[in-house]
Chain A
Amino acid sequence: MIHIWKQYPGVNQLSSSLGGLSLQHSQQPESLRPVNLTQDRNILPVSSVPAPVPNLNSDLRKLNCSPDSFRCTLTNIPQTQALLNKAKLPLGLLLHPFRDLTQLPVITSSTIVRCRSCRTYINPFVSFIDQRRWKCNLCYRVNDVPEEFMYNPLTRSYGEPHKRPEVQNSTVEFIASSDYMLRPPQPAVYLFVLDVSHNAVEAGYLTIVCQSLLENLDKLPGDSRTRIGFITFDSTVQFYNLQEGLSQPQMLIVSDIDDIFLPTPDSLLVNLHESKELIKDLLNALPNMFTNTRETHSALGPALQAAFKLMSPTGGRISVFQTQLPSLGAGLLHSREDPNQRSSTKVVQHLGPATDFYKKLALDCSGQQTAVDLFLLSSQYSDLASLACMSKYSAGCIYYYPSFHCSHNPAQAEKFQKDLKRYLTRKIGFEAVMRIRCTKGLSIHTFHGNFFVRSTDLLSLANVNPDAGFAVQMSIEESLTDTSLVCFQTALLYTSSKGERRIRVHTLCLPVVSSLADVYAGADVQAVVCLLANMAVDRSVSSSLSDARDALVNAVVDSLAAYMSTASNLQQSMLMAPNSLKLFPLYILALLKQKAFRTGMSTRLDDRVYAMCQMKSQPLVHLMKMIHPNLYRIDKLIDESTIHVNDRVVPQPPLQKLSAEKLTREGAFLMDCGSSL
């Protein structure tokens, strides 16, 4: 017998009509509506997939953190670990804490109100017990409201602590007092380490870098204390003395790469404003200085050791540009890839690092608040698996341009130029630490992203940038039977490029449910897929790629089987999924076809490793575009989901399923996969 389900109105209309009533099941019917995956062919919505809205009453929903900054895989948290295990879905958070925000309330009060026991920052989800005391929503301790907090500077009223901006916004930024900085905030320090071997000059990246730097020298984030330096290397390491007062930059060559030392104690990292003319001269001269070089070796290890020595006193950012396998000195690498194994369906080897030199270097740098960013512009195998370690543990980022050549490959050259512009001008935070707190009963156990885990809940990030995303996995230690809401708070303490110590706080609130159907109703399929991608990358490196692939498939199979066993009245021969998870098999299939996880097709090892690094460090919005690009049909615009720009209604192109049946010769299509259009 086939059941015909009524078409419920869209989620938004339903919640607005029932908004005043905080019914437990007001949203459940729509997201639990069974979808027959073996029959329905068009399951993709025509506009982009929205993030599920937690089932809270409308006041809390308005105050809740934006899903672009903070997202949970299950918007209805199960009450016990047993219930979570039955649902067979991972519980975790996807964070994008430092994302570029257009509206950010900045609080400059002298006291930052925090809970006395768990040190949570005051947030919109605390409860005020009579106007003088507040109850922490994470540890339930009752705290006093300090006198200064009773006065609201915005409305100039007294006695209404719940109207203060800290309690009205879930994303706030505090300017930290001097308690939060036991050393003076560091200035912005940028060091560029450039490969100038024959290979690098052939590829021609140096002109693009120097041009970009010349254009953006004034837009580098920082203030009057900003410092900059350059190191170039081939088989020796070259330093540049840019001391103010010299008539031209002076090159100092150190050829003893086994015991690298700094030729002069200062004036290698100079103040940007004082030595600006010299820096511009150097950038103009650099591309031509090495045109006739015959050096084919690359001493990356010694150059990095020198860079570390240079940056140790202050901390900052090192940008490394490499075009081949490092072949000289410490940290030298051998070619491990076997080109015949590229399309192997069996074991994929060499996904982990070959040496721990780069990991140790990254840890040392992290201890000195220095991040190392890697730009790999090579045309052959360069063992990215080992080189990536330098960025992974020092909170850096990795950019990869396979087959880069400035004239033979103009697409890559243009991409490099655009990426470099964004990289140089985007916001940056220095010497940062991030802590994620959650309500009593939940605990965080695994972190994914580029950082160093200092303690079970504290992450050390030497640099924080707006394009970094993080993921964490959680487990339910004690059952949440006596609470109906759980909260998560991310606090990021960093030094801004202007030397101010700031704390960015995001708080998310979610309801607790006790039935399995509700857990499925609140599942956020995009967050689940991104968390599974992170877990699969870890599994491929620690165990094997085929294990990771099997685990991904099992995740879908188990969760849909668990759903089908709970929902009665369904025929066993159909594949039914709740509406919230209807795209789950589609996304996992897309994930299995990614360069990171695919087998059977020729994939270069560096490409694969780069895709894996991207999965672990990209924020959710970019990762979803990478996994499942958006295909728009632009010759047929539709009226649904129009956007309003400058008082004009702009119809949007509909999203198409990614299938050849949707492509026709008579249509015009546009695909957006995040990194290219």
Chain B
Amino acid sequence: MAFTFAAFCYMLTLVLCASLIFFVIWHIIAFDELRTDFKNPIDQGNPARARERLKNIERICCLLRKLVVPEYCIHGLFCLMFLCAAEWVTLGLNLPLLLYHLWRYFHRPADGSEGLFDAVSIMDADILGYCQKEAWCKLAFYLLSFFYYLYSMVYTLVSF
């Protein structure tokens, strides 16, 4: 069993990938909560509920925004580690996602403190649908990469 730098990388990414999966599942639950307004339809006309609903939407958006940067940083860290460990195949697999994250980050609206999830535009079914699809795709990707890292970790530990 050779404890190389590559093996160490894979061990670390395995653990952090679990946290990424956790973030994405949080995203999915948040979008589901935004989409459903669990109240009696007559009650929805009640003006006192408007403030509650608005605060709910803002709370969820604030939470989502807080998750965005840690997720991108962790994924960026993965790519950096694979670069240093010379694991080119794994780096190649993660590169498209890295580029996508960079594009999303630099294309956010330049509105001062606004991030990617904005209370006024989040309830648009188009955008909500897009965010949900994105979350599901990422979940699939992170799950697959979790198992891939597990396999690679065992492989690098055993093979040298």
Contacts and interface: CB of A to CB of B under 8 A. Distances in A.
Interface in B66-113: 109-113
Contacts of B43: 182
Given A356-B114, A456-B35, A456-B123, A493 B50 contact: no
Interface stretch (B15-23, B52-60, B152-160): B52-60
B112 A354 contact: yes
A186 B46 CA distance: 12
B28 interface: no
B123 A454 contact: yes
A182 B45 CA distance: 9
Contacts of A452: 54, 120
A458 B44 contact: yes
A363 B120 contact: yes
Contacts of B111: 352-356, 359
B119 A366 contact: no
B55 A367 contact: yes
B48 A182 contact: yes
B47 A393 contact: no
Given A445-B124, A454-B50, A455-B37, 15 more contacts: A352-B109, A353-B111, A354-B111, A355-B111, A363-B54, A363-B119, A369-B47, A443-B125, A447-B124, A453-B123, A454-B37, A454-B54, A455-B44, A455-B53, A460-B53
Contacts of A454: 37, 44, 50, 53-54, 57, 123
A456 B110 CA distance: 26
B30 interface: no
Contacts of A182: 43, 46, 48
Residue in B44, B55, B125 with the greatest tally of chain A CB atoms within 10 Å:
B125
23 contacts: A181-B45, A182-B46, A315-B47, A352-B111, A355-B112, A356-B111, A356-B114, A359-B120, A363-B54, A367-B54, A431-B47, A431-B50, A444-B125, A446-B126, A453-B121, A453-B123, A454-B37, A454-B57, A455-B37, A455-B53, A456-B35, A456-B123, A460-B50
A181 B46 contact: yes
Given A356-B112, A460-B50, A180 B120 contact: no
A179 interface: yes
Contacts of A119: 41
A368 interface: yes
B131 interface: no
Interface residues of A, number: 37
B128 interface: yes
Interface residues of B, number: 32
A463 to B, nearest CB: 12
Contact of B42 (A180, A315, A460): A180
Contacts of B53: 454-455, 460
A600 to B, nearest CB: 25
A182 B44 CA distance: 10
Interface in A468-486: none
A665 interface: no
Interface in A339-372: 352-357, 359, 363, 366-369
Contacts of B114: 356
Contacts of A183: 46-48
Interface of A: 119, 179-183, 186, 315, 352-357, 359, 363, 366-369, 393, 431, 433, 443-447, 452-456, 458, 460, 493, 542
Contacts of A460: 50, 53-54
Contact of A363 (B45, B58, B125, B126): B58
A186 B51 CA distance: 15
B50 A367 contact: yes
Nearest to A180: B45
Contacts of A354: 111-112
A371 to B, nearest CB: 12
A114 to B, nearest CB: 9
Nearest to A362: B120
Contacts of A447: 124
A356 B35 contact: no
Contacts of B41: 119
B43 to A, nearest CB: 7
B47 A445 contact: no
Contacts of A444: 125
Contacts of B126: 445-446
A445 B58 CA distance: 20
Contacts of B129: 445
B129 to A, nearest CB: 8
A367 B51 contact: yes
Nearest to A494: B45
Contacts of A180: 42, 45
A205 B117 CA distance: 40
A27 B46 CA distance: 45
A182 B35 CA distance: 24
B9 to A, nearest CB: 39
Nearest to A543: B107
B53 to A, nearest CB: 5
A369 B53 CA distance: 13
Contacts of A443: 125
B30 to A, nearest CB: 15
A257 to B, nearest CB: 20
A226 B57 CA distance: 32
Contacts of A367: 50-51, 54-55
A85 to B, nearest CB: 16
Nearest to B54: A367
Contact of A368 (B51, B110, B121, B125): B51
A184 to B, nearest CB: 10
Contacts of B112: 354-357
Contacts of A186: 47
Contacts of A181: 45-46
B10 to A, nearest CB: 40
Residue in B47, B54, B129 with the greatest tally of chain A CB atoms within 10 Å:
B47
The 7 closest A-B pairs by CB, nearest first: A367-B51, A445-B125, A453-B123, A431-B47, A367-B54, A182-B46, A455-B37
Interface string B120-159: 1101111011000000000000000000000000000000
A119 B44 CA distance: 12
Given A356-B112, A363-B54, A454-B50, A179 B123 contact: no
A393 B119 CA distance: 10
B122 to A, nearest CB: 8
A411 B131 CA distance: 49
Nearest to A355: B112
Contacts of A366: 50, 54
B115 to A, nearest CB: 10
Nearest to B122: A453
A313 B125 CA distance: 32
A493 B42 CA distance: 10
